[in-house]
Structure formats: C-alpha cells, structure tokens
C-alpha cells in the first residue's frame, strides 16, 4: 500500500536482522522490512558476523520498504540509526575488513577479562567507562586480538563497531556516536572522550578509533550509489542515533530520570534513566550514554524467557500435544498450570542460572538449582518455580540498580514474557511496584526515529515520545504476595552466596566431561 506524506525511517541493526521501520511524525508504524543474517560460530565461544552482509542488509531493508510502499525520496524527512552494542572489527588502511565483526555474544576473551579484573584494576576501568569488564566488551576483545592474532592487530589501521562501519561505507567518514562508544570499554563517561588509559592498556592510538559525535549528529551527503539503492535523497539527514539498548528505553517511553524499562525476551534486562553518568562501586551495573542529560543505568540477565522455552521443549511434550489439540500456544498452557500453585510454589525455589549469569553476579560458572523439593511437588510447581526464578533474577538486578541510582518511579515492561498477564502480575508482586505495559513494536527503531526528529528540531524533547505510546495494561502489586517473595528472595540471594564455590566445582566438572 502506498504511503503518502512525510515519514521518518528508524533503522535498527540488530543481532538477527536489520529492520527499517517507517513512522509518521507521531511515531506511528506505517511499514517495516527486515533482512535477516546469521551469527557465524567458527569455534566454540566465538560469535561473529559478516560486516558486508550487515551493510547490505541496511541498504536492502530501506530499499525494500521504500519501493514496496511507493515512498518517494522527498517524503523521507530523516533517518535515525540504532545498532547492537559491543561489536568490534579491524580495518586495513583502505577501510577493508581484516576481521569479521566480533559481536556481544562472543566469549573468546575470558582469559583477558579475568586478567583485567585481577591484575589491571578492572573495577577502575569500569568506573571510568561504564562498560562492565566482561568478554562482551570490545576492550577484552581487542586484548584477545593483540595476543592471539598479533599480525592482524599490527596490520589494523582502525577498529570500528558495526554502525561505524556502515556509516563509513555510506559516507566515507569514520564517526561514532557517544552511545555506541560508551559500550566499548574505551570511552570516558565524564569527558565524553576516548579513555587514554584504556587505549594504552590495549596498545592502540586514538587515531585508530572513529571521531566522536553526539547522538543528534546529522550526516548528509550520502554516496549516490547507496542513496539510490535505498530510494532516498543523498542529502536526506541521517541522524547517527545511539545503541539499541538505550533507544529501547526511549521507544517504550521510559525517558525521565528514575523511569525504568524491563524487557524479558530470551534474555532479560532492567534499564533506568539517570541524569548524569552513574556507576556502581561493586561493578554490578552498566552505564551507557544517550544524550548529555540522559544516561541509561542497568543490568542484563542471561536467564529470561529462555527458561520457559527450555521447560517447554525438554519437559513439555504433554503440554505441547494438548495445546496443539486445543489450538493454544503451549506457553499459555504452561502458565495456566503454574497459576494453580500459590506464590512460593509450596517451598520450591529455583536459581535460574542455566546460562551462567551476567548482572548482578557476573559469574559464568553459576548454574541452575531447584531447592526445597518434596514429594508434594508436581509439574505445576516446577513451572511456577521457574517463572518465579526468572523474576527473582530481575529483582536482583533491579535492587543493584536501586543501590546506584535510587528508587525507580515508573516501570514499563516488554518482551515475550509480557504476553502473559499472570507472569507480569508475578513480576509486579515480586518488585512490589506497579507495572505499565506500553503498546510498542520495534522500540529501538522508534527510539532512533525520535532522536532523529529531536535532532532536526521537530520534537521539543525526547519525553514527547510518551504521548505517542498507549498503555495496554497496568498491574498493581499484591502486598501479601510481595511479602512472601521478599522472604524467599532473601533465601535465593543466600543460596547463591553459599553455592558460589560449589558452582565453580560443578562447572569445572561439566567442562571436563563435556
């Protein structure tokens, strides 16, 4: 269907696909197109992507959406960019890739990360840069490259993220926005500049990194070839934008200091807005830039909806079969069973660390545990305990963030878990806070479009986005449940502390026997 009138396009360069989403001037989705690509895993623990495939996906996604919907170049008032955090790659003198993109999920730099913590005062680096010391961080990945592929490292003229690479191909200029830079472990939050100490530690010069610009920086003069393929004018303003994580906050309407967004998809994250850069003395949370007055403080958990998926796939053959007969989603059946059981699953507590854990514990050796099992426990207790375990892990991250930024004023939830009203209520009870369910699709792309309009002066502030977003549901915590969960959370946190050494032992055993 043809689209008339002015539009703004949000481009979200994600882990599984790049999406081009067409919005009107009030954030309404008019059309979208996604182009998928794989993660390449040449060795266990490696996670790479082909930068040229991602670049082609950007051009193709925008080109497809403009052609299909008859959008003429003069209708496109602006484009805004969002991209996944933590990717890094090496380029030669002429800008050609010497490596693939090493993406956030790449774990090869475990040894370098441990050394950063133990020998190189990792906590101080984190407190200057806001990026947790973790294999996801480009800082660790560059150390790996220097040690494991010294020839490539020496040959490299530059190091860039996925967004920097795409922009260089479009404009011939090496620029990075403060937000993407703040997720590299190489960027100082207080001066909005590269961190000389981190650069010296890795052994790179600042002229090997892109020029830094704010999220509202406007690029023009796109190379004609690409503008034509995308169906836009080469002087269309392209606003550099930020990272997908911080833009997702904008895109769900969590934009004022103290407002938080909780997402539980496959993994999970809690993110809140702070008015100034804020880090944790214990190193539990991240702090990434959006614009000078907006910082996103938060923590990711590995163990979100993937646990219910694991339960469904490994132990839910019965539910899958029944759901099929009834024409239901198996998740809806599983959660119905869980509803039969009272909060606390009659004494069954689940530590959900099936994939190790990032925030707040940052412990790759942590493992899952069912605690308190009795003969009275049936499958519905297990389902409920698993759902509660996911919420406990979110609560543990939220409490760490509260220590750093103070109490959260308003919490907005999204992701696959939000399809379940029961699971949402459980989270509200667990946090002891009201939850709002915003009606948003493509939150990061919407955030990118909003920043683009803001940069062009067509939006008075990013808070305006709130007026674009409808609320579909609201949950109030049930006090009696909150009390039960507070008691059990105390036990959960104690169990984690007590089992720390045992987790190391079982993880080592698993590695030996795997």
Per CB under 6 A, residues contacting ligand ADP are 265-266, 305-306, 308-309, 329, 331-332, 335, 415-417, 419-420, 423
Minimal distance, residue 489 CB to ligand ADP, in Å? 21
- Nearer to ligand ADP by Cβ, of 73 and 416: the residue is 416
CB 180 within 8 A of CB 240: no
Q: Which residue, 219 or 306, is less far from ligand ADP as judged by CB?
A: 306
In whole angstroms, the minimum distance from the beta carbon of 219 to ligand ADP comes to: 29
In the bound state with ligand ADP, the residue whose beta carbon lies nearer, of 130 and 330, is: 330
Least Å from the CB of residue 39 to ligand ADP = 13
In whole angstroms, the minimum distance from the beta carbon of 417 to ligand ADP comes to 5
Containing 185, the helix (H) or strand (E) segment is none
- Cβ-based nearer residue to ligand ADP, 206 or 309: 309
Q: How many residues does the chain have?
A: 514
| CB-nearer residue toward ligand ADP: 22 or 306 | 306
Residue nearest to ligand ADP (CB): 416
How near is the Cβ of 445 to ligand ADP at its closest, in Å? 14
| Closest approach of ligand ADP to the CB of residue 369, in Å | 19
* Residue with smaller CB distance to ligand ADP, 332 or 504: 332
What phi, psi does 334 have (nearest 5°)?
A: -60, -45
Q: Which is nearer to ligand ADP, 78 or 308 (CB)?
A: 308
Q: Residue 106 in 3-state DSSP?
A: coil
Q: Which two tokens stand for residue 277?
A: 């850069």
Structure tokens at 62: 């925008």
CB of 15 to ligand ADP, least distance (A): 10
Q: Indicate the residue among 241 and 305 with the shorter CB distance to ligand ADP.
A: 305
Number of H helices, E strands in the chain: 17, 23
379 CB burial (10 A radius; 0-12, 13-18, 19+): middle
Distance CA 216, CA 156 (A): 29
Query: Which C-beta is closer to ligand ADP: that of 214 or that of 438?
Result: 438
498-504 CB contacts, 8 Å cutoff, 24+ apart: 499/351, 499/369, 500/363, 500/366, 503/353, 503/363, 503/365, 503/366, 503/367, 504/365
- Nearest distance in Å: CB 390, ligand ADP: 8
What minimum distance in Å lies between the beta carbon of 418 and ligand ADP? 8
Burial of 215 (0-12, 13-18, 19+ CB in 10 A): buried
Those residues with Cβ within 8 angstroms of residue 231's Cβ, 6 or more apart along the chain or in another chain: 62, 63, 66, 67, 71, 73
Parallel, antiparallel, or unpaired for β 238-243 and 76-83? parallel
DSSP state of 119: H
Burial state string for 458-480 with b = 16 or more CB within 10 A and e = fewer than 16? ebeebebbbebbeeeeebebeee
């Amino acid at each position: 269907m043809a689209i008339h009138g002015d539009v703004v396009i949000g481009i979200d360069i994600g882990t599984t696909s790049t999406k081009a989403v067409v919005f009107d001037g009030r954030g309404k989705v008019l059309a979208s197109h996604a182009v998928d690509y794989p993660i390449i895993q040449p060795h266990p623990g490696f996670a790479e992507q082909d930068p040229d495939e991602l670049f082609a996906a950007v051009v193709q996604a925008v080109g497809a959406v403009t052609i299909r919907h008859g959008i003429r170049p003069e209708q496109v008032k602006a484009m805004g960019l969002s991209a996944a955090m933590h990717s890094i790659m090496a380029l030669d003198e002429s800008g050609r890739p010497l490596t693939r993109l090493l993406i956030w999920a790449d774990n090869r730099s475990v040894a370098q990360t441990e050394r950063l913590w133990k020998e190189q005062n990792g906590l101080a680096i984190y407190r200057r840069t806001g990026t947790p010391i973790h294999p996801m961080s480009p800082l660790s990945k560059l150390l790996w490259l220097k040690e494991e592929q010294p020839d490539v490292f020496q040959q490299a003229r530059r190091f860039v993220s996925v967004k920097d690479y795409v922009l260089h191909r479009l404009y011939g200029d090496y620029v990075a926005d403060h937000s993407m830079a703040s997720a590299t472990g190489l960027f100082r939050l207080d001066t909005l500049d590269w961190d000389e100490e981190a650069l010296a530690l890795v052994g790179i010069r600042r002229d090997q990194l892109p020029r830094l610009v704010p999220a509202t920086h406007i690029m023009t003069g796109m190379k004609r070839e690409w503008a034509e393929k995308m169906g836009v004018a080469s002087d269309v303003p392209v606003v550099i934008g930020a990272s997908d994580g911080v833009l997702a906050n904008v895109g769900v309407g969590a934009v004022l200091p103290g407002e938080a967004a909780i997402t539980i998809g496959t993994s999970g994250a809690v993110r809140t807005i702070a008015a100034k850069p804020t880090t944790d003395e214990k190193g539990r949370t991240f702090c990434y830039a959006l614009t000078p007055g907006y910082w996103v403080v938060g923590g990711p958990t590995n163990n979100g909806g993937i646990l219910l998926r694991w339960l469904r796939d490994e132990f839910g053959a019965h539910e899958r079969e029944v759901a099929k007969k009834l024409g239901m989603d198996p998740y809806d059946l599983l959660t119905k069973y869980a509803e039969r059981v009272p909060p606390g699953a009659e004494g069954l507590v689940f530590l959900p660390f099936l994939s190790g854990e990032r925030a707040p514990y940052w412990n790759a050796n942590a493992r899952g545990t069912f605690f308190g099992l009795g003969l009275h426990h049936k499958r519905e207790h297990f389902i409920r305990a698993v759902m509660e375990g996911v919420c406990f892990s979110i609560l543990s991250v939220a409490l760490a963030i509260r220590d750093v930024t103070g109490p959260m004023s308003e919490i907005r939830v999204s992701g696959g878990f939000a399809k379940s009203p029961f699971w949402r209520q459980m989270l509200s009870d667990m946090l002891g806070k009201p939850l709002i369910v915003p009606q948003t699709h493509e939150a990061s792309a919407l955030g990118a479009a909003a920043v683009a309009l803001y940069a062009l002066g067509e939006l008075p502030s990013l808070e305006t986005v709130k007026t674009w977003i409808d609320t579909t549901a609201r949950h109030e915590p049930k006090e009696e449940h909150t009390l039960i969960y507070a008691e059990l959370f105390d036990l959960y946190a104690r169990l984690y502390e007590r089992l720390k050494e045992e987790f190391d032992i079982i993880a080592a055993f698993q590695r030996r026997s795997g």
